[in-house]
Structures are given as C-alpha cells and as structure tokens.
Structure 1
Amino acid sequence: MNDALRNLIDMIEAAHNERMIKSALKSFANTYGFERFAYLQTEGAEVRAFNSYPEEWQDIYLGNQYSRIDPVVTEAKRRMEMFSWTANDWPARGTSELRRFRDQAIEHGIRSGLTIPVEGSFGSTMMLTFASSRQTADGSKLRDAQKAIQAVLAIHYRLKIIAATTIVAPKRLLSPREAMCLMWAARGKSAPETAMLTGINPRTVQHYLDKAREKLEAATVPQLVAIAKDHGLV
C-alpha cells in the first residue's frame, strides 16, 4: 500500500494539468474499490472542489451549499484524522435538509467512503474523499496515515501551481502600483502601513487596492489576496 500511495503522490507531482491529476486519482480510487473521489478545501464559507462526482450532483451540492451540513465535512473538521463513513449513519427520517442531502447523495451513487482531512493555513481544511455506491466501503487498505496526508498536500500544492500558470485575462492584469499594494496587503499590511512603507498617500493606496479588487472581482481585500495567490500574482 505504501508503494501505491507513493506512486499516486509521484503522479500528482508530475501532473501538468488538472486532467492528469484527476486521471491519477480515478485510477487509484478504482484500484481500491472506490468509484469516485473528491478533493475539497473549505475556508470559512468559501468552498473549492475538485472531484469526479456526476456534474448534476456537483451542481446540487454547490447550489445548496451542502458543505454547511455535509456529515463527512463536519466529521472531518471535528476529527482531523482519516476515517470511514456510510450514509446509513445519517438521518433517514423527517423532512430536514440533512435528510434531503442523504437521499440525493445516495441517488447519485455516494453511499460510503473514506476521508482524509488535513488542516491548512488560515483556518482552512483540506480533505480527500474516496466514495462508493455500496452500503459500506472497505478502507482497510488505505491506512497509512502519513502517506495519505502527503497525498492530500501534494494535490493541494499541485493545483495551486497549475492555477498559477493559468493565463490571467487581460482585463485582470494589474498595474505595477496595484500589484505593489497587493503584495503589501498579502503580507498583512493595512493601507496606512503600506503608505508609510511606499511613500504613497493612504487614500491612493486604497484606490489601488479598490482597482485590484474590481479587476479580480473580489469583495474584500482578504478575498483579493486569496484570488491573487490562486493566480500566482503574489
């Protein structure tokens, strides 16, 4: 099993695009009796997903913001260690949102699985799930916790590297001063602090940050920094 996880990590780190990462994860999942995989990163209310689930289920999941109530996500954040799960343990009675989630998950072939959660930076959580349509999934072969965590981290950083090489649309290109102010914001500096460091008027610094937010379609400076990091701009 160590060799299988090691090979998965190697394939992920050698991937040039998301398709190659998805192919490696699909192959690994199928080899060990799972039909689907899902990589999920949560940071506050923000959710980023990379998976092989049916598109219809992805739309339902994201559209209903099911990460708020998903028992797997909740358990992953609570335990922060690898665990197996089954939809049989989720509420099956009543008319609650959780009941609806359970029914829809089963309908789309997600009934059991194994999840590997990893704590990320700034309060984020990353988790890799292998899912099956069977009532219970055998995760006994996936019990090398250290290698499993390495696989999650490899996916996380490889996706960031691939995103950083993605061409940014011309309208999103920042001016040199916008980029400079953004760099200081990414280092935790406020507009007045950036003004002192650069010699620019504080109101002008704020103007540059506002223009950068507009270009990258960010509502706040923290979101601006996050988007910029995803695109390799900082």
Structure 2
Amino acid sequence: MDEDFRSLIDMAEAAHDERMIKNAVKNFAQACGFERFAYLQTEGLEVRTFNSYPKPWQDVYLNSHYARIDPVVTEAKRRMDVFAWTADDWPDRGTSELRRFRDQAVEHGIYSGVTIPVEGSFGSKMMLTLASSERKADISKLQDGRKALQVVMTIHYRLKIIGATMLVAPKRMLSPREAMCLMWAIKGRSAGDTAKLTGIKERTVQHYLDSARRKFDAKTVAQLVAIVKDRGLI
C-alpha cells in the first residue's frame, strides 16, 4: 500500500480542483482492487458526498435520503476502525426501504467494499468507502489502520482547501503574511508575541491583521478568526 499511498498524497497535493482529486482517489481505489469510491461527511442530518459512483445511483441515493438507512453509514458511525461489508449481509426479503436500498445498490454495481470511518469536528463523521461489484471484496491492502486514516484526512483537508479557494472571492483571499499572522492570533498570540516569533515589527503584524479584517468585514480579530474557521480558510 505504501507506493499507492504516496502516489495519492502527491496527486492530492498537486490537485487544484475537485476533478483532479477525484482522479487521484479513483486511481488509489483501483490500485487497491476496487472499482469505485465514495467520500461521505455527515453532520446531523446533513450529508456531503464526493464520489465516483454511477450518476443514476448518486441521484437515487441523495433523493431517497438513503444515508439515513445505509448499513455502511450506520456501521461507520458506530465504530471508528476499518471494516469490510457486503450486500449479502443486508436484508433481501420483504418490501422494506432497506430491501429497496440493497437491490438498487447491487443493481448499480455496489456489492461489497471496505469503509474507513474518522471522527470529525463538532460531532461530524467522515468516511471513505472503496466499493466493488464482486460479492466479497479483498481488503488485504487496507489493513494498516494508520495509513487508512491518513488517506481519509488527506482527502478531507484537500477538498476543504480547494473548496475554500473556489468559493471565496479573490479579493477576500488572505495573503501568506496575513494568514501567518492570523494563525498566530488563532493560537492566542498577541501582535507583540507574533512580532517576536516572526521577526517582523508589531505594527506590521497589526497592519496584516487589519487588512485581513477588512477583507472579511470583521470588526475584531476574534470575529475574523470565527469567520475564517467557519469557512475552512485556515
């Protein structure tokens, strides 16, 4: 897995849009013996997904709110380690919603796989699923839990950075110096502390913080910190 993992890290780091990240994760999934992948983040009832599943299945899944009953999502929320799954373990009788979910998943080539769940911030859950149309997936290349966790975090933060870059107007992007001074502010450092740590003058630190505040219409540094954290810019 080491070579495949390094390749994913390198490709994700070089990516400047979601399409490039999708290709990187898709290549990783295929190198591990899977056909497709799905990155899912849940926070309460809200679901965000980034995947290579067939478009018809994506539409059915989201429109039917299947994240509520998806056995993989349910199990991922319950445990925090890598696990394998197969549709053979899901109900295949009756007319229940779960039965329909199973039939439609199999119909679209989602039969077995492995899922890597990670605890996110503020009660959110992140998970990466690699899926196969085979009845039982080979998960031998994903036995290293530490590296599996790193894969999920790499995807999560790269998507967050690219999403922020795409969603924020250019005039509101922080300059490197503004970001550096703001990072120290987030860590509780005063302008004087930051000046000593960075080797620049205190009034220059304050200038960068004031410039950053104006870009986001923040009245105070504390408000600025809240805004950039909420938007995932830092």
Query: Aligning the two structures, in what range does the TM-score lie when normalised by the shorter sequence?
Result: 0.7 to 0.9
Deviation at 1:17, TM superposition (A): 1.1
Find the aligned partners of 1:96 and 1:103 in 2 and give their Cα distance. 11
Which residue identity does 2:223 align to in structure 1?
W
Task: Give the aligned partner of residue 143 of structure 1.
Answer: 143
CA drift of 1:14 comes to 2.2
Where do residues 202-213 of structure 1 align in structure 2 (5 Å cutoff)? none
What letter matches 2:146 in structure 1?
Q
Secondary structure of residue in 1 paired with 2:166:
coil
Tell me which residue corresponds to 1:229: 231
Which string of whole-angstrom CA distances, capped at 9 and with x for unpartnered residues, describes residues 40-70 of structure 1?
A: 0001111110000011111111111111110
| CA spacing shift, 1:177–1:167, aligned 2, 3 Å | closer
Equivalenced residues, count: 194
Matches of residues 70-109 of structure 1 in structure 2 within 5 Å?
Answer: 70-109=70-109
CA-atom RMSD in angstroms: 2.7
The runs of 5 or more residues in structure 1 that have no matched partner are 188-224
Amino acid at match of 1:184: Q
Q: Which residue of 2 aligns with 1:63?
A: 63
Distance in 2 separating the partners of 1:116 and 1:69: 18
Q: In 2, distance between residues paired with 1:177 and 1:118? A: 31
Q: 2:113 is paired with a residue of what secondary structure?
A: strand
Write the mapping of 1:46-57 to structure 2, written as runs, cut at 5 A: 46-57=46-57
State whether residues 114 and 139 of structure 1, in contact with CA within 8 Å, keep that contact through their aligned partners in structure 2. Answer: yes
TM-score (normalizing by structure 1): 0.74
**Matched residue SS, 1:105:** helix
CA distance in structure 2 between the aligned counterparts of 1:30 and 1:79, rounded to whole angstroms = 25
Counterpart position of 1:41: 41
Please, what TM-score do these two structures have when normalized by structure 2?
Answer: 0.74
Q: Which amino acid aligns with 2:149?
A: I
Q: Is the 8 A contact 1:6 1:147 kept in 2?
A: no
Distance in 2, Cα, partners of 1:84 & 1:133? 14
User: Does the 8 Å CA contact 1:12/1:24 hold for their aligned counterparts?
Assistant: yes
Residue 22 of structure 1 aligns to which amino acid in structure 2? K
Other-structure match for 1:127:
127
Q: Confirm or deny: 8 A CA contact 2:216 2:224 kept in the other structure.
A: no
* 2-11 or 177-186: bigger deviation: 177-186
Shift of 1:181: 8.1
Larger Rg: 2
Q: Give a deviation string over 1:79-116, Cα, whole Å, max 9, x none.
A: 11001100000011111111110011001100000100
SS of 1:34's equivalent in the other structure is coil
Distance 1:183 1:71, change over 3 A: farther
**CA–CA distance in structure 2, aligned partners of residues 74 and 146 of structure 1:** 22
Which one-letter code corresponds to 2:125 in the other structure?
T
Indicate if the aligned counterparts of 2:39 and 2:126 stay in contact, CA closer than 8 A. yes
Q: Which secondary structure does the structure 1 equivalent of 2:127 belong to?
A: strand
Q: Secondary structure at the match of 1:122?
A: helix
